[in-house]
Structure 1
Amino acid sequence: MAQIDYFFATTSPYTYLAGNRLEQIAARHGATVTYKPLDAMSLFPRTGGLPPKDRHPSRQAYRLIDLARQAKKLGLPINVKPAHWPTNPAPSAYAVIAAQNAGGGDVGALVQNILRACWAEERNVAEDDVIRDCLDRAGFDPALADRGLLAGAETYAANLEEAVSRGVFGAPFYITADGTPFWGQDRLEDLDLHLSGKL
């Protein structure tokens, strides 16, 4: 069975733009997805990148244009300067980790709910009530937001270390079972072709 390790940040706009395409691709190929939320702002300096706020003004300006353009192309609503960004991504990442461990719901839908809350709904994904609502809408017990925080913190930190060791440098980032990497929501078609044996 095909396997995809999915490294992402719960406050990443480009992860938001991926929508549910990864899950559709996985379903087509009978692949399983392991969700690995990480701290992108800690990843960037360790892999030669810069957080958005530290990039040259021309790069910052282009990022906003590109986000709006990609969202329009994909038919997704977006506020390129959301009210609650940046915010602490850890609580929502811990919830994803707890949900994946607990099972019984749709982890992909949870990730999308969290990202949509940030980038389209002007909600703060660091707040408990927002996280609980996202969990509930994805079929999970909202109380997962309050449980397993220590384990979540340990896994969150471990995901970052794993990402660095495996050559991950941005989000979203996908690695197949044979070690083939794909960076960015705009490379999901390539991931699909690779799993089909065409690329």
Structure 2
Amino acid sequence: MAHIDYFFSTLSPFTYLTGTSLAEIAAKTGASVTYKPLDIMALFARTGGTPPKDRHPSRQAYRLQDMERRARRLDKPLNLKPAHWPTNSAPSSYAIIAAQNAGGGDLAGLVHAFGRAVWAEERDIAEADVVRDCLSGAGFDPALADSGLLEGAETYGANLEEAVRRGVFGAPFYVVDSGQCFWGQDRLEDLELHLEGKL
């Protein structure tokens, strides 16, 4: 059975646009997934990337056009300039780590809920009430927002180090145990074909 390490940021619009598609592909192909939230700005700094606000105006303009097209194609609401972006992604990431460790809920749904909160609902995922609401909505104990903070912080940092070591440079990024890497929401079809042995 194939395994996918899923590196992502809860702040990324393309993580949001991924929705629950990765989980659906994994279920269809029999693959397992480990969710690895990380600090995307720190990843950029470590791997030669540039934060969106520091990119050339032509790159910023294209990014917004591409985001809007992808959202339309996927029929997902998207605010191109959300009120709470960027914000501190650590609380939402720690919650995902705690939820993955606890089990029993919809992890893909939780990741998507954080993205939807930022990019469609004008909510600040750094706020404890928002984190608890997303946990509850995905079938997890909202108290996970307040537990395992040290472990969450350690895992969050370790995810960044692992990402750099394994050649990850953006989000969402999918690393299959076959050695194949796929970057971006728009590479999910290629990932699925690879898992099916067709690519």
**Match of residue 95 from structure 1:** 95
Equivalences for residues 28-177 of structure 1 within 5 A: 28-177=28-177
Which whole-Å CA distance do the structure 1 matches of 2:189 and 2:18 have between them?
11
Contact 2:2 2:178 in 1 (8 A): no
- Residue correspondences, number: 199
Which whole-Å CA distance do the structure 2 matches of 1:24 and 1:100 have between them?
17
Kindly state the Cα deviation for residue 90 of structure 1 after the two structures are TM-superposed. Answer: 0.4
**Match of residue 24 from structure 1:** 24
Give the root-mean-square deviation of aligned CA atoms: 0.6
Deviations 1:32-70 (A, max 9, x none): 110000000000121111010111111111111111111
Amino acid in the other structure paired with 2:152: G
Which whole-Å CA distance do the structure 2 matches of 1:194 and 1:35 have between them?
19
Which whole-Å CA distance do the structure 1 matches of 2:55 and 2:64 have between them?
13
Identity %: 72
Give the ranges of 4+ consecutive aligned residues of structure 1 lying more than 6 Å apart after TM superposition.
none
Kindly state the Cα deviation for residue 177 of structure 1 after the two structures are TM-superposed. Answer: 1.2
Give secondary structure in 2 for the equivalent of 1:174. strand
Q: Which runs of 5+ in 2 are unaligned?
A: none
Q: Give the TM-score, by structure 2 length.
A: 0.99
Kindly state the Cα deviation for residue 99 of structure 1 after the two structures are TM-superposed. Answer: 0.3
Kindly state the Cα deviation for residue 178 of structure 1 after the two structures are TM-superposed. Answer: 1.2
Q: Which runs of 5+ in 1 are unaligned?
A: none
Deviations 1:93-144 (A, max 9, x none): 0000000001111111100011100100110000000000000011100000
Kindly state the Cα deviation for residue 20 of structure 1 after the two structures are TM-superposed. Answer: 1.1
Which whole-Å CA distance do the structure 2 matches of 1:70 and 1:109 have between them?
19
Give secondary structure in 2 for the equivalent of 1:88. coil
Amino acid in the other structure paired with 2:136: D
Deviations 1:63-99 (A, max 9, x none): 1111111100110000010000000000000000000
**Match of residue 192 from structure 1:** 192
**Match of residue 6 from structure 1:** 6
Amino acid in the other structure paired with 1:31: A
Which whole-Å CA distance do the structure 2 matches of 1:20 and 1:110 have between them?
9
Deviations 1:124-180 (A, max 9, x none): 000000000000011100000000001000000000000000000000000111121
Give secondary structure in 2 for the equivalent of 1:7. strand
Amino acid in the other structure paired with 2:190: D
